[in-house]
Amino acid sequence: MSDSDFPLPPPTFEFLVFSLKTQTEMQLGLLHFGEESEAAPNLAAARHAIDLLAMIAEKTRGNLTIEEQRLIENSLTELRFRFVQTAEKKPVAKPAEERKADDTTSNAEDASA
């Protein structure tokens, strides 16, 4: 079976939400598909996908079934929570001034020892 023969899922609202959710989880580094090393999270791309999902929720408000509304709201809540968790875990590079001050302090401590 070639790639072109692969049956595509029907274009539903649920599929759209799950697609954006999966994309966000991949950007956050939560899903890995056989990769040996874990890629660093791409927080900007994850934030963009979450914002897209939020925009869809806003634009479709009042036009969704209860199940669709719950799906998009629950997905957004979960993704926002995971975004914050991932952002807090990611090491943040110190500004150059702080690194310089730390180096000066550690050099002074080394000289006194």
Chain segment 52-110, per-residue pLDDT in tens: 999 999 999 999 999 999 999 999 999 999 999 999 986 655 555 555 555 555 555 55
Q: Does pLDDT of 23 surpass 60?
A: yes
Query: Under CATH, which number does the domain 10-112 receive?
Result: 1.20.58
Is the distance from CB of 75 to CB of 21 less than 8 angstroms? yes
Taking the domains of the chain in order of start, what are their residue ranges? 10-112
Q: What is the pLDDT of residue 78?
A: 96
At residue 13 the predicted structure's pLDDT band, cuts being 50, 70 and 90, is: very high
Q: Does pLDDT of 113 surpass 60?
A: no
Q: What is the pLDDT of residue 75?
A: 96
Sign of CA dihedral 41, 45, 47, 52: negative
